[in-house]
């Protein structure tokens, strides 16, 4: 896909994947340069970026978020620098893709398509009223409905269940993620943004939600889970 969409000379912006874990309001450093040569669907060379007429020596083994400006629109992927060298008097970086190339999404967080089991329920009024207090109340032991997460990001998720939550409702979500350190259970409060019935599946509803009152450590763990799963998927595709 890379060789069919990205052409030599196309503009490319790159930023360290560390920006995924940047604090809100923190400045993210981006470098702008050009594609030098597309070597294959997995590898390419880009011109070494410059700043104030000086070459920026980005580190070998560093992983970067790339955004390509192509004739068919913006495309994004993650890639690792595996070499630096001079070719025909041009300083270049050799990169290997670590994720699939996809249409660039103009949103704060990339949504990762998946299938994950979840349990959910709507918050009670007293729970909602307590959310902005110093001691929010989440009543334990209330019945939960089986749900299925379709995609997940650092800012929210999309899931399907057989109950139709109201837009702007607050819901309690419980789901496990398989992290490198082992399986961890998450309990998250989310606000419903949109609801629609699933086509050809009467009685099932798709919900798009955003997290509410999510602490930074939990958000970073979710983002890292997505990033690790992308790399696993890429390895399986290549093998």
For residues 100 and 55, what is the distance between their CA atoms, to the nearest angstrom? Answer: 28
Distance CA 95, CA 84 (A): 9
For residue 218 the two structure tokens come to 């939990």
Q: Which residues of the chain form CATH 2.40.10.220?
A: 112-238
CATH 2.30.110.10 domain extents, the chain: 2-103
Structure pTM?
A: 0.67
Going from the C-alpha of 76 to that of each of 37, 64, 86, 149, 189, the distances in angstroms are 17, 11, 26, 23, 30
Show pLDDT as tens, one digit a residue, over the chain (239 residues). 788 899 999 999 998 876 565 555 556 688 999 999 999 999 999 999 998 889 999 999 999 999 999 888 889 888 999 999 999 999 999 999 988 888 876 555 778 889 999 999 999 999 999 988 878 889 999 999 999 999 998 889 999 999 999 999 999 999 999 998 899 999 999 999 999 999 888 999 999 999 998 888 899 899 889 888 887 877 776 66
Write out the CATH class of domain 2-103: mainly beta
- Please measure the distance between the N-terminal and C-terminal CA atoms of the chain and give it in whole angstroms: 16
C-alpha to C-alpha distance for 177 and 142, rounded to whole angstroms: 22
Quick one: fold of 112-238? Thrombin, subunit H (2.40.10)
């Amino acid at each position: 896909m890379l060789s069919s969409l990205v052409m030599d000379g196309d503009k490319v912006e790159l930023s360290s994947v560390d920006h995924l874990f940047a604090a809100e309001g923190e400045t993210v450093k981006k470098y702008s340069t050009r594609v030098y040569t597309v070597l294959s669907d997995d590898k390419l060379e880009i011109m070494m970026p410059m700043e104030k007429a000086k070459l920026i020596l980005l580190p070998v083994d560093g992983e970067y978020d790339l955004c390509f400006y192509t004739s068919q629109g913006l495309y994004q992927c993650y890639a690792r620098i595996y070499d630096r060298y001079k070719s025909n008097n041009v300083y270049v970086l050799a990169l290997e893709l670590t994720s699939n190339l996809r249409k660039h999404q103009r949103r704060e967080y990339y949504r990762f398509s998946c299938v994950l089991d979840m349990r959910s329920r709507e918050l009670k009024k007293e729970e909602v009223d307590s959310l902005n207090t110093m001691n929010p109340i989440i009543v334990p032991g209330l019945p939960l409905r089986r749900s299925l997460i379709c995609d997940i990001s650092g800012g929210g998720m999309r899931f399907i269940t057989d109950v139709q939550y109201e837009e702007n409702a607050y819901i309690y979500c419980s789901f496990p993620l398989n992290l490198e350190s082992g399986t961890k259970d998450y309990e998250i409060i989310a606000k419903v943004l949109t609801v629609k019935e699933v086509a050809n599946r009467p009685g099932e509803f798709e919900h798009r939600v955003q997290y509410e009152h999510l602490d930074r450590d939990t958000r970073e763990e979710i983002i890292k889970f997505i990033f690790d799963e992308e790399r696993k998927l890429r390895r399986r595709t290549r093998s």
